[in-house]
């Protein structure tokens, strides 16, 4: 019998605050339909002073370890393009906050929005060699573009934590995958910048081109046919990108587009915005939380990281996935948020980390279990709130 490995559990976390794109539209004198219909976004998650990729990540993973335990988790892979340190892995802070054992390794991975997919593929191979072990993969990012730029409306943030294990309770991942790597400058962030540089229109073209190549490679490697899937999840920098991607894939395969192929996978992303590495997996959670009829169904997944690396892969939803969702928690995280006014959004956006070693104590804004209490002597200080 073939070994079944995949995503055993998955949980996301977002901050308590969001900016409604209506506020941005009014401030910049833009027709709000450009955001709602043109790019398919309504709101974007905004981190307060005491939230960063580490607190987002630890808060995303906490329900998994609290409810299901820490046994056999011997690796943490932290995927991000919002790194807080050039040397030390953000995974080490999370390892400590989650109280994982010292004989559990912790590493950070980077390749724009793609690296969580690389982490999953590595974890699948690792578990095939070490059956019974579990790998905690966490994707955590804060998407930040220049104010008053066309990309400003495609910000957001969030983290998704996934336990990769044998006999997964959520989704078993197939062996066949298709990849595409190409050196392009569509989106990047040099070390000295807080915000990404992007060639917006070119990036959307590259996304579609990479999809086409990755799909072809997936087919060459024995993947499912287009018509085998009833649901597709895409990397969603904004939800309209996923709609365009799906139209493109349907066209290549000479098929009609069904809205139901993608709509459940876009519900959460529309009100959270771009969470870079976490975005595809947020879409997967959105699908699993919003459909109760997926048991045994094959789901297609497309991961895109600018620069670029893309991967098309797939999985089959487990029979008892309904029992292991964190749906109530996820829906409360979204519904119990506070809307920011434009000035508070700007205040959060500008909040600087000191670069001279001086001390900053952050006000308590974060509703999660873990917060960034401050920075002192170039050292970030994380605390547990409750």
Among 14, 198, 287, 288, binds ligand CAA (CB under 6 A): 198
**Residue 193, interface with ligand CAA (CB under 6 A)?**
no
Selecting among 235, 246, 324, 330, the annotated active-site residue is 235
The answer to whether the CB of 239 falls within 8 A of the CB of 41 is yes
Q: Which tokens is 294 given?
A: 């997926």
| Interactions with ligand CAA, residue window 3-42 (CB under 6 A) | 31, 33-34, 37-39
User: Which of 72/204 has CB closer to ligand CAA?
Assistant: 204
Per DSSP, the residues of 310-342 read EEEEEEEE-TTGGGG--HHHHHHHHHT-EEPPH
Is 26 among the residues known to form the active site?
no
234 binds ligand CAA (CB under 6 A): no
CA torsion, ordered 288, 289, 290, 296, to nearest 10 deg:
30
Candidates 41, 82, 306, 366; binder of ligand CAA (CB under 6 A) is 306
Is 235 designated active site?
yes
Q: Which of 86, 90, 22, 21 is nearest to 52 (CA)?
A: 90
Element (H, E) at 345: helix 342-350
The 8-class DSSP code of residue 262 comes to: T
- Told to judge if 308 belongs to the known catalytic residues of this protein, a careful annotator would answer no
User: Distance of alpha carbon 23 from its chain centroid, rounded?
Assistant: 25
**201 forms part of the interface with ligand CAA (CB under 6 A):** yes
CA 83 – CA 19 distance, rounded (Å) = 23
Q: Which of residues 100-119 bind ligand CAA (CB under 6 A)?
A: 113
Select 200 or 374, whichever has its Cβ closest to ligand CAA: 200
Out of 111, 177, 274, 362, which residue is the one contacting ligand CAA (CB under 6 A)?
Answer: 274
Based on the shown chain and the rule CB under 6 A, indicate whether residue 366 belongs to the binding site for ligand CAA: no
Phi, psi of 51 (to 5 degrees): -120, 135
Helix (H) or strand (E) holding 217: helix 200-220
Tell whether residue 154 is a contact of ligand CAA (CB under 6 A): yes
Q: Considering the complex, what minimum distance in angstroms separates the CB of residue 105 from ligand CAA?
A: 28
- Does residue number 303 form part of the binding site for ligand CAA (CB under 6 A)? no
Spatial separation of the C-alpha atoms in residues 275 and 198, rounded to whole Å: 16
- Contact flag: residue 283 with ligand CAA (CB under 6 A): no
Cβ contacts of residue 100 below 8 Å, gap of 6+?
65, 70, 73, 76, 106, 136
Indicate which residue of 51, 95, 108, 113 is catalytic: 113
Cβ of residue 166: shortest distance to ligand CAA, in angstroms? 31
Question: Of 241, 249, 284, 373, which one interacts with ligand CAA (CB under 6 A)?
Answer: 241
274 close to 16: Cβ distance less than 8 angstroms: no
Token pair for 370? 């873990």
Name the catalytic one among 49, 51, 81, 180.
81
The footprint of ligand CAA (CB under 6 A) covers 31, 33-34, 37-39, 113, 150-151, 153-154, 186-187, 198, 200-201, 203-204, 207, 235, 237-238, 241, 274, 276, 304, 306
- List the catalytic residues: 81, 113, 235
């Amino acid at each position: 019998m073939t070994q079944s490995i995949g995503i055993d559990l998955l949980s996301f976390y977002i901050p308590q605050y969001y900016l409604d794109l209506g506020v941005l539209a009014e401030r910049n004198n833009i027709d709000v339909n450009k955001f709602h219909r043109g790019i398919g976004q309504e709101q974007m998650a905004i981190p307060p002073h005491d939230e960063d990729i580490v607190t987002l990540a630890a808060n995303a993973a906490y329900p998994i370890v609290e409810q299901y335990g820490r046994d056999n988790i011997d690796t943490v892979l932290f995927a991000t393009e919002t790194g807080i340190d050039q040397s030390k892995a953000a995974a080490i802070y999370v390892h400590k906050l989650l109280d994982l054992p010292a004989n559990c390794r912790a590493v950070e991975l980077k390749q724009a929005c793609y690296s969580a997919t690389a982490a999953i593929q590595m974890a699948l191979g690792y578990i095939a060699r070490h059956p019974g072990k579990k790998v905690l993969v966490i994707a955590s990012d804060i998407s930040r573009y220049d104010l008053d730029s066309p990309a400003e409306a495609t910000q957001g943030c969030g983290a998704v934590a996934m336990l990769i294990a044998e006999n997964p309770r959520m989704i078993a991942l197939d062996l066949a995958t298709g990849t595409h790597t190409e050196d392009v400058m569509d989106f990047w962030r040099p070390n000295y910048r807080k915000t990404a540089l992007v060639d917006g229109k070119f990036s959307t073209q590259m996304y579609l081109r990479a999809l086409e190549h990755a799909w072809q490679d997936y087919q060459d490697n024995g993947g499912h046919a287009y018509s085998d899937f009833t649901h597709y999840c895409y990397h969603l920098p904004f939800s309209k990108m996923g709609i365009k991607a799906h139209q493109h894939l349907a066209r290549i395969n000479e098929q009609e587009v069904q809205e139901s192929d993608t709509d459940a996978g876009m519900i959460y992303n529309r009100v959270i915005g771009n969470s870079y590495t976490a975005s595809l997996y947020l879409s997967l959670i959105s699908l699993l939380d919003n459909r109760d009829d997926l048991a045994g169904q094959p789901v297609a997944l497309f991961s895109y990281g600018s620069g670029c690396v893309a991967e098309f892969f797939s999985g089959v939803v487990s029979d008892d996935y309904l029992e292991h969702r964190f749906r109530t928690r996820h829906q409360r995280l979204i519904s119990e948020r506070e809307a920011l006014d434009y000035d508070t959004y700007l205040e959060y956006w500008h909040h600087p980390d000191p670069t001279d070693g001086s001390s900053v104590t952050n006000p308590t804004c974060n509703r999660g279990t873990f917060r960034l209490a401050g920075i002192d002597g170039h050292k970030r200080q994380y605390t547990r709130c409750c």
